[in-house]
Every structure is written in structure tokens, then in C-alpha cells.
Amino acid sequence: MIRFSANLGFLFADRPLPDAIRAAAASGFHAVECHWPYDTPVRDVKQALAETGLEMLGLNTRRGDVARGDNGLSAIPGREAEARAAIDEAIDYAATIGAHGVHVMAGFDQSIAGGHTFIDNLDYACTRGARHGLTMLIEPLNEHDAPGYYLRTTEQAADLIQDVGASNLKLMFDCYHVGRTEGDVITRLRTLLPIIGHIQFASVPDRGTPDSGELDYRAVFSEIRALGWTKPLGAEYKPAKATEDTLGWLQST
């Protein structure tokens, strides 16, 4: 049986995070994950997780100054202190609520210097995260949604993981992003399986529910099951209406 996680950055996003966790449990999800939970007291998140018995798979480092256009800091030369403060904050929050991992967001910089900065910050994140048993995740974002983002392809991510050489650095494989920029999602899943730490999904190209769009998720989920993957898959799609009214795919999977 495939298990699913609700990404509360998009799903049930019309309510406070603790209530979104409870709604995900009531809707039949096996786990949750989130984007930026930092405005919610950790005690409230811990209580909701304890009540529901759900596991929190992961969360993101802060984007930075969103009004200024930031979408992550860890690959931006000259902002290392901010990036590491965001990494520290994310690791502390994740460890306190019992989350499994932290997505270290790179940011908008595609320079060679940005690559060196990202490697240094990932090394820092992995060393500190290992003390808490946390997995550090990196995720390529497609150029349509995030033009100029440092990390763009799974090949680039695989090279970074090899360069950093930390056992707790893994790839967040988002079928939506891979489908939009690289295609051949199933082959890439097979090839990259040893370095994948988490799998997410949404329809291609509109990032809607997985029962629509160009990508056949019946085939994708079947392949994931055949590969022996047992962790919950992250539903990170944008509901076109109330989340509860978009879950037909969940009941039929």
C-alpha cells in the first residue's frame, strides 16, 4: 500500500497549521509536511501531531526577504550568515517537533560562486543536522515557476550530493518539477533512487490534483511501489477548491 503525506503549504492552507494537521488526519493522510511553520509555536504543532499520530516529514528553510524577491539563501554569495541562521532555525524547529528532514533552499543565483557557497552551506547543514538525526534535502525547481533558481535539474543535484559527500544529504524528487523540466519521470526515479530522500507529486503542467494532466500517476505510483519505496509520498499540489473536495484521487489510489 502506498502512503501519502499532505503538504500543508498548499493543502488545507486556509487554516492554522495545527488545524491543518488535524484535517489531514481526518482526510486519511498518513503524514504531513510543511513549508515555513515558524510563526506557529512548536508546542501547538507537537500537540497536533501527538493527537493525530501523524509524522511530520519535513519543512523548508526560510526564503529570506520575500518582498525583495528571495526564495532561499544558501546559494547566494555574501549572505552566508543569513543562510546559516535560517539553517539553524529550521534544524532546531524540526528537531523539536520530531520532523524527519529539512529542505535547504538555494535561492536565485546561478553563478559558479553560488555553487561554491551552496556546497559550503550544505556541508554546514549536514553536519549540524546529523546531530539530530535529520536528513537534509535539496530540490531542483523548474524554470517556469522559479526562473533563475540555482538548482534546476536532478543531474545537478546528484553532482552536489556527491561533492558534499554527506550521508544525510538527499534529493527531494518532485515529480511535478522533474516532469516540467526534464521529463521521463519514471526512468529518473529508477536511476536516482539511491539518493532520493523524499518524493512529491502534482499534475503536470498545472500543479493540480494527480488524477489530471500529462503525467500518468497510476503508472508512476505503480513504479514507486515496485521500487520498494515505503515512505509516504508528498501531495504538493494547488487545490482549485477546498482541499477536502479535491481528494477523490486519494480515495481511489
Across the chain, where does the E strand assignment appear?
4-7, 31-33, 55-56, 58-60, 101-103, 135-138, 169-174, 196-201, 233-235
What cell does 236 get?
A: 504538493
Under a CB-based contact definition with an 8 Å cutoff, are residues 58 and 101 in contact? yes
Cα–Cα distance, 116 to 114 (Å, whole number): 5
33, 223, 236, 244: the catalytic one is: 236
How far lies 72's CA from each of 25, 36, 105, 223, in Å?
Answer: 30, 12, 4, 32
Task: Single out the catalytic residue among 139, 182, 214, 244.
Answer: 139
Q: Is 139 a catalytic residue?
A: yes
Question: Please, are residues 98 and 52 in contact by the beta-carbon 8 Å criterion?
Answer: no
Annotated catalytic, 143? no
Cα angle at 171 between 129 and 199, to 5 degrees? Answer: 110
Active site residues: 139, 236
